[in-house]
Structure 1
Amino acid sequence: MFEFWLINENLPFAGAGFLLIGLMLLQFSGLTDFAPDLDADMDGQVDGAGAADGLLSFLGLGRLPLMIWLALFLLLFMVIGYVGQQTIQGITGSLLPPWLAATLAGLVAMPATAILARPLARIMPKDETTAVSIDSLIGRFAILGTGTARLGAPARAKVIDIHGHPHFVMVEPDNDGQEFMSGEKLLLVRRDGNLFKAISQGGQHLPRLEG
């Protein structure tokens, strides 16, 4: 059996098997965390590819992480190749040349990968991001750090986003004549570039409504 797997006519499929094992070892070892963001690069290419967009979508690229898609393709290519060669040998008594066998197996493995990528993408856990827009901090309370914040002299404050993650921003009073002291609780009311305007939670600092 091992001789059949490694004979010259089946070398493309043996190579796919070794490459698949290599990908699995990289994944389990965590080394792929240091690799370039291939999935992001692929997304960028798909977004601007025009006619190629439809082809890549048909193949299932973008539905699965690129490493998972590649592993699935290699597995199907290997299995289809070995089964095909064994079937040809049983019928004709000989094997196809490696270049022809690899071409035919690849032509079958591509659509097979695309078909399996769809249901596999539905059952795979999705990554959830906790990244927030800087504008989402407007309307949240912040605690002023050390120093005093005055108009034209901002100070650093800590604000917690909707996911419970801290952010440190520069704040100054939204109204002239106000100043905030260290430890004071502030409401971020608007943003001017990288600078946040705030009002104090304390009643003595709240602006009066005229009329």
Structure 2
Amino acid sequence: MQAFLTATENIPFTGAIVLMLAIGIIEILSLVSGLGVFDFLDGLLPDLDTGEIDTDLDADANGLADALIGWLNIGKVPFIISFLLFVFLFGAFGLKIQALAYSQAGTLLPIWLASPVAFALTIFPLKWLNAVMGKIMPKDETMAISPESFVGRVATIVIGEASSSRPAEAKLTGPLGRTHYIMVTSDNPEERFQQGSRVLIVGRQGSNFSVISVKNPHLQG
């Protein structure tokens, strides 16, 4: 079994299972400690329920990506859940394909052949599981926080330097007392915020949040 799992042809699939276990452990620990380590990923998803249509000529690619995300029901559950489902299904289908190939032909399929087949087999189960889990998981605020609820809150720069053109990572305490990590840019082109700076979130632009300096020392982060 070990030789099968570590075979070169099975590296993508075994690696996917290992990645799922590693991320799953990190997520469980983050939930126990109250840290939303992967919460920022949900902010990267497009707002599929706004009903707004982008008519720019360069929006075609984004529109196609948004349609695919919507079709796969990604966003009905936290993104990290969908990602864990994907890597698990990809790894499981891949190993099953290779086991079947070995039992029938006595050899493993090459990666370039087995990987696309495993990916294709993953799509419909992923779509279905996202939909089912979206119905099962509670819809109250304990499960999902709207990124817009971060506006008006104070955050602290933890990694990098935030400018109007370069985002930095910041952390803040959300409405339910959990710690969230987001990417922020300076709302003022003339202002930069170093690591450790406290900033006020004033808006959201795509996956990034706009911030300004904190004028009131009594505001809590």
| Fold shared by both chains (TM-score > 0.5) | yes
Equivalence for 1:12 = 12
- TM-score after normalising by structure 2: 0.53
Indicate conservation of the 8 Å contact 2:86/2:126, yes or no.
Answer: yes
Once the two structures are superposed, the pairs formed by residues 40-79 of structure 1 within 5 Å of their partners are 40-44=43-47, 49-79=62-92
Gaps of 5+ in 2: 55-61, 147-221
Aligned-residue offset at 1:50: 2.5
Gaps of 5+ in 1: 132-211
CA distance in 2: counterparts of 1:36 and 1:68, whole angstroms: 11
Once the two structures are superposed, the pairs formed by residues 1-211 of structure 1 within 5 Å of their partners are 1-30=1-30, 33-35=36-38, 37-44=40-47, 49-128=62-141
CA 1:3–1:46 in structure 2 vs 1: closer, same or farther (change >3 Å)? farther
| Higher RCO (CA-CA < 8 Å; seq separation 6+) | 2
Task: Report the residue type matching 1:70 in the other structure.
Answer: F
Aligned-residue offset at 1:44: 4.1
Task: Report the residue type matching 1:53 in the other structure.
Answer: D
3-state SS in 2 of match to 1:42: coil
CA distance in 2: counterparts of 1:75 and 1:60, whole angstroms: 17
Rg comparison, structure with higher value: 1
3-state SS in 2 of match to 1:127: coil
3-state SS in 1 of match to 2:134: helix
Equivalence for 2:153 = none
CA distance in 1: counterparts of 2:88 and 2:23, whole angstroms: 11
Indicate conservation of the 8 Å contact 2:16/2:87, yes or no.
Answer: yes
Larger deviation, residues 120-129 vs 63-72: 120-129
CA distance in 2: counterparts of 1:64 and 1:79, whole angstroms: 21
CA distance in 2: counterparts of 1:30 and 1:61, whole angstroms: 22
Q: How large is the Cα RMSD of the aligned pairs?
A: 2.5
Aligned-residue offset at 1:83: 0.7
Aligned length: 131
Indicate conservation of the 8 Å contact 2:46/2:66, yes or no.
Answer: no
CA distance in 1: counterparts of 2:5 and 2:49, whole angstroms: 36
Deviations 1:23-51 (A, max 9, x none): 11110111761446211221348866423
3-state SS in 1 of match to 2:86: helix
- TM-score after normalising by structure 1: 0.56
CA distance in 2: counterparts of 1:45 and 1:58, whole angstroms: 11
Deviations 1:83-122 (A, max 9, x none): 1111111122211112321121011112220122111111
Equivalence for 1:178 = none
CA distance in 2: counterparts of 1:88 and 1:38, whole angstroms: 37
